[in-house]
Amino acid sequence: MPETQTSRSISSSRLRATLLALLVGLVTAETRARAEPLRVCATATDARALVEVVGGDAVEVTGFVAGPDDPHVVEPTRSMIEALARADLLVVVGLGLEQAWLPGMLATAGRADFVGEGQRRLDLSSNLRTVAGPEGRGVPGSFHPEDNPHFLADPVEGVKAAAAIADRLSALRPEEEDGFRARYRGFAGEVMAAMLGAEMAAAHGPEDFEALCIAIERGELAAHLREHGSAEGSAGGPPPRFGGWLAAYEPFQNRTAIGDHDLWPYFARRYGIRVLGYMEPEPGLPPTAPHLAGLVAEMKEAGCRVILSVQYFDPRHARFVSEATGAVQAELANQPGGREGTGSYLEFVNHNAGELLAALRRAYGPEARP
């Protein structure tokens, strides 16, 4: 039968409708793929908190450690293994923090691509400014076989880690890069304001944060500002005021403390205190009576009056040392979520800085200087 104009028109309409449906389907699938958040596994709560603040709605984060728990000891669950098997990115703290439990989880999940360096694994310790001397070194066979892994207690290292997270997320999801960068800079600005004061933070970008804090650490802030042309404010006005937590700690430089677990070399360096020793003879070994007796004697000789105490450590030991020496306990969080009100990284920073400062003031007097 000869093809009529009407039948040709119907066939053409059907073809256009089919092509349109295919096009809509492709666009919808692409949009859905772009809208799917990146699936990220983070080994500790500080790593998780940093991924969440930088990634925003563009990431779906699974953590392996609850806030109050010890990150050296994790009991793998089926849901953790399943999350690892599906993950687009694994973020680790590194320096052996996860050595006791992560390798077995990776083997079970079949994620050989998460072992060693690679695009899908981010080690936050890779750009670390280590602590010089024995304070920062590890102990083979202990919970700290490499350099001390608790560097994210230092807000400077936290901001550096957030920058690395922004870089890696941007590489994996380039269309979201502007959002990752904006959230990183907003977060870094908040941490800088807490540590340096609002004026100093407003006058400098995140790229200046570490250099400013090192200058403060060395007592060279004024010289650093002169050298880098920021000793004056905008339009020749007064220089930005130095404030925040680091200014509040100036009267307590080189005061001493002891801790329970070896968590605090980076934290102590940032706030200018010295840690005499720890209740654990080695990281992960329970305190012994002879070791605690020696620590008490050392504290009395040095006039040490502050104990850095974390939530998961047996509190009997800190009580014993406090009663024997009269030292004040600073109840710190080892990571975000470790204590009430420390769910975010910034809350964690503010809690620890405030707790230690209050303990120093009680122990040494509110205006203590040498």
Q: What is the pLDDT of residues 99-121, one digit of tens each?
A: 999 999 999 999 999 998 889 99
Q: What is the pLDDT of residues 72-96, one digit of tens each?
A: 889 999 999 999 999 999 999 999 9
Domain co-membership, 115 together with 231: no
Q: What is the pLDDT of residues 187-244, one digit of tens each?
A: 999 999 999 999 999 999 999 999 999 999 999 999 999 888 665 555 566 788 999 9
State the average pLDDT over residues 45-58: 98
Whether 218 maps to a domain, the answer reads: yes
- The answer on pLDDT for 360 being more than 90 is yes
Domain co-membership, 64 together with 176: yes
pLDDT of residue 236: 60
Whether 23 maps to a domain, the answer reads: no
State the average pLDDT over residues 46-56: 98
Domain co-membership, 149 together with 124: yes
Domain co-membership, 58 together with 174: yes
Q: Which of 172, 207, 242 is the last residue of a domain?
A: 242
Whether 295 maps to a domain, the answer reads: yes
pLDDT of residue 284: 82
> Pick from 290, 268, 299: which is nearest to 363 by CA?
299
pLDDT band at 29 (very low <50, low <70, confident <90, very high): very low
**Whole-structure pTM over 0.75, yes or no?**
yes
pLDDT band at 131 (very low <50, low <70, confident <90, very high): confident
Whether 6 maps to a domain, the answer reads: no
Domain co-membership, 238 together with 255: no
Q: What is the pLDDT of residues 145-174, one digit of tens each?
A: 568 999 999 999 999 999 999 999 999 999
Domain co-membership, 358 together with 291: yes
Whether 190 maps to a domain, the answer reads: no
Whether 164 maps to a domain, the answer reads: yes
pLDDT of residue 147: 82
Domain co-membership, 222 together with 258: no
- The answer on pLDDT for 32 being more than 50 is no
Whether 30 maps to a domain, the answer reads: no
Whether 14 maps to a domain, the answer reads: no
pLDDT band at 283 (very low <50, low <70, confident <90, very high): confident
Least confident stretch, 26-40, 124-138, 233-247, 274-288: 26-40
pLDDT band at 67 (very low <50, low <70, confident <90, very high): confident
- The answer on pLDDT for 30 being more than 50 is no
Determine what percent of the chain is predicted with pLDDT higher than 90.
75
Domain co-membership, 152 together with 180: yes
In the chain, the number of structural domains is 3
pLDDT of residue 9: 53
Strands 89-92 and 121-123: parallel
pLDDT of residue 4: 57
Domain co-membership, 177 together with 205: no
Domain co-membership, 338 together with 308: yes
Domain co-membership, 145 together with 282: no
pLDDT of residue 26: 47
- DSSP string over 209-262: HHHHHHHHHTT-HHHHHHHTT-SS-GGG-PPPPP-HHHHHTGGGTT-EEEESSS
Domain co-membership, 105 together with 45: yes
Counting other chains too, the contacts that 137-144 makes at CB distance below 8 Å and 24 or more residues apart are 138/95, 138/96, 138/283, 139/282, 139/283, 142/282, 142/283, 142/284, 142/285, 143/72, 143/96, 143/100, 143/283, 143/284, 144/95, 144/96, 144/262, 144/283, 144/284
pLDDT of residue 369: 78
Calculate the average pLDDT of the chain: 89
pLDDT of residue 370: 65
Strand partners, 257: 275
- The answer on pLDDT for 135 being more than 70 is no
Q: What is the pLDDT of residues 303-348, one digit of tens each?
A: 999 999 999 899 999 999 999 999 999 999 999 999 999 999 999 9
CATH number at residue 303: 3.40.50.1980
Determine the structural domain holding residue 237 and report its residue range: 198-242
> Pick from 181, 170, 228: which is nearest to 204 by CA?
228
